[in-house]
Structure 1
C-alpha cells in the first residue's frame, strides 16, 4: 500500500505525523511525504520527501494574508468558534495551502497513493484524497476542533478545486486526536493514538552529557514559526524572572537569532542549535514554553512539570494553557506576569509531577502507531 503524508511546513504539524509514517514503513508499506520550505523536518526522520512548493515561506505568506485583509488581521489568531472550532481562521489556512495544491496534485496523479494522511490545517491533503477518491486520515494538532475548516478553506480555493475536479471535501475516514482524553476540552472528533512524540534529530552536546548540579529549566518557543512570526517578546519577562531563581535555564529555540534578547543573565544560556526536546527534557526539572501540543506531550513523556507562558497574540497558547492547568500537569500565566515565585513553585510542587505521571501512563495505554497503521490497512483493504 502507498501512503502519502502531507503537512503545512510548521515543525509541530510535521512532527505529529512522523510516528504513524514510521509505523507504515515498518509494516512494509511505501511512504512519501509532501512538504515545503523545511523538508529536513521529515528527511531527518528518515522519510522520503517531495518539495511540492519550492520557495515557500510560511511567515511571508502569513504576513501577506494579513496585509490583504486588515479586518481579518485584527482577529485571526484569537478567533475560534464554539468548542474551539478553528474554522474562523480559514482565510489564513487558505493562504498556507494554496501554494501546496499544484505540487501535491502532481504527486498524487503520478504516485497514486491508496491513503492520504494530513494534519488538521492542511486542506491540500483533504483535496488530494478527494481527487483520487481514496480514504483520508486527519491528525489533529491539540486543543482545537475542526468544524467546517476544510469546507471553508476549499471554498476560498474554489478555483483550484475546479481546476483539479474536486467538487467537495468528504469527511476523513479517521480522525486521530493529539491530546489524550483527560486533556481534551471539547468532545473528541475521533480516536486516539499514543506512542512517543517525535521532535527531530540532532547532535547531543554538553547539555545532555553534563548532569545538572542544580535544577535545570528549559525555555522554548517550539519549532520556530512562533518565534519568527510573533517574535521573542514573551521571553524577556520570563528571563528576568529566571535570573532571580536558583536554577539554570536553557533557551531551546533551534536556530532562531536570539541577539534581540541582549546580554543574558549568568544562569540563562542558549542551547547550541536544534536540540531534540525529548532528550533535553529528561535532563531537566521543568519546562516553560509557548503552548505547542508537541512540547506539552514531550514534557509529559519526560515526566517533568511545565508552565505555559501565555502570549496575548496567540489563542493556541491560551487554549493549551487552560488544558495544562485544568489537568494539573503545569501552571499558566501571561508571559509578562511570570515571577520568580511562580518558577520556584513549578520546580517544587509535587502535585504537578504526580498529575504528569498519570497522563504519561494514560498516553502509554493508548493505541500505538503500529496498531493504528494496522487498523488503517484493514480499512483500506475493505473499501
Structure 2
C-alpha cells in the first residue's frame, strides 16, 4: 500500500508521524511526505513532494505578545487558511504522481483533507495534539461560527463538499490517551493510540545523585521565554537539594547553580528527571509523562492552556502563570510536584498500553 503524509513544516506536528512512517515502511508499505519545502525535507527522511511555500505564513512572524483570541485569529487567518490554499496544488500534484491508497493529513495541513476528499481517497486525520478533540470552542459559539465560516470559504474555493476539515469521517488518530485527554466529543471515529515517541537519542547522564529538575520552553518560544527562564534559574538557585537543567536556546542566561544547555535530547534526559517544568507543548508533555515524570506547566498560547488543564485534571502536575510567575512561585510548584507522581505514573501506564506508532500503523492499514 501507498501512504501520503501531508503535514505543515512544524516539528511538533511532524514528530508523531515519523514513527508511524517508520513502522509502515518496515511492514513493506511505500510512504511519502508532502508539505512546504525546504523546511519539510529537513524534518523527515524518505521521498518528499513539495507543496506550497510556508515562508509568507510562518508562525515565526506572529507577534510574540499575541494571546487568547488574538493569537487564535492570527493562527487561522494568517497561517492555517492561507497555508491550506498554498498547499493544495502541490498536494494534488503529489496525489497524481504518487497515487496513494491513503492520505494522512495533519490537522493543521487542511490541504490534505481537501485534496483527498476531492479525489475520493480514504484519509485519516493526524491529531498531533489532543485539544481539538475536546471541542475547545464549544462554549464560544461566535468564535466557533467564525472558524466554521473560514473553513466554508476554503471548501468553496477548492470545490469540496465536506464537514470539518480537521476531523476525517474515516479515522482520527489521536496521539494521546483518554487517561490524559478525556473522552472525545466528536461524532467521528477517534483512535487513541498514545504518543509515537522517538527512541532516546544520544547518551546523557545526570551530574550527581540529586533529583533532576528540567526546565524547557521548547525551541520556538525563545523570544517570549527569557523572563520565565531567568525566574526558573533563580528558583533553582534556592534549591541546593536538586540539580537543575535549564534549556536556554538563546544562550543569554548565566548561572552558577544549575546547568544550561541550548538543546537537550528530551527523551534521554527525561528518563532521569524528577520534575519537568515546561510550556505545555504536546510532545514535551507526552515525553515527560511517558517517563512518569510529574509536570509544572506554564502555558504560553495556542493549545498549551488546554493541555495544562488536562495535566492538572489527570493529577499529573501543577500549573503556574507564564506571564506572572516569579522565582518563589516556580520553586513552590517544583517542591509540590512529588504529590503528582502517582497521577503521572497512571498516564505512563495508559501510554504503554495504547500501542503508539505500531497501533497507528495498523489502523491506517485497515483504512486502506
The alignment's TM-score, normalised by the length of structure 1, stands at: 0.78
Match of 1:243 in 2: 237
Shift of 1:30: 0.5
Is 1:184 aligned to residue 170 of structure 2?
no
Match of 2:212 in 1: 216
Map of 1:295-306 to 2, 5 A cutoff? 295-306=284-295
- Cα distance change of structure 1 residues 349 and 217 upon mapping to structure 2, 3 Å threshold: closer
Shift of 1:232: 3.8
Secondary structure of 1:31's aligned partner: strand
Match of 1:286 in 2: 275
Distance 1:75 1:353 in 2: 33
Map of 1:1-383 to 2, 5 A cutoff? 1-36=1-36, 37-39=38-40, 42-43=43-44, 46-54=45-53, 56=55, 58-59=57-58, 62-63=61-62, 75-77=69-71, 90-91=76-77, 92-140=79-127, 141-145=129-133, 152-157=149-154, 160-162=157-159, 166-168=160-162, 171-185=168-182, 187-189=184-186, 190-194=190-194, 196-198=196-198, 203-204=202-203, 208-222=204-218, 224-227=219-222, 230=224, 232-246=226-240, 247-252=242-247, 256-259=249-252, 263-273=253-263, 275-311=264-300, 314-335=301-322, 336-340=324-328, 342-343=330-331, 346=334, 349-380=337-368
Judge conservation of contact 1:59–1:225 (CA < 8 Å) in 2. no
The alignment's TM-score, normalised by the length of structure 2, stands at: 0.81
Provide the aligned C-alpha RMSD in A. Answer: 3.2
- Cα distance change of structure 1 residues 334 and 6 upon mapping to structure 2, 3 Å threshold: same
Superposed CA deviations along residues 211-244 of structure 1, whole A, max 9, x for unmatched, are 434232222122x33435x454443333332332
Shift of 1:257: 2.8
Shift of 1:349: 4.3
Judge conservation of contact 1:154–1:161 (CA < 8 Å) in 2. no
Shift of 1:74: 7.6
Q: Which runs of 5+ in 1 are unaligned?
A: 67-71, 80-87
Shift of 1:52: 2.4
Judge conservation of contact 2:9–2:54 (CA < 8 Å) in 1. no
Judge conservation of contact 1:196–1:301 (CA < 8 Å) in 2. no
Superposed CA deviations along residues 171-207 of structure 1, whole A, max 9, x for unmatched, are 43101223310222563531210364238x8654xxx
Q: How many residues align?
A: 346
Match of 2:141 in 1: none
Judge conservation of contact 2:215–2:278 (CA < 8 Å) in 1. yes
- Cα distance change of structure 1 residues 375 and 310 upon mapping to structure 2, 3 Å threshold: closer
Shift of 1:365: 1.2
Q: Which runs of 5+ in 2 are unaligned?
A: 138-143
Superposed CA deviations along residues 142-169 of structure 1, whole A, max 9, x for unmatched, are 222368798644434357515xxx3445
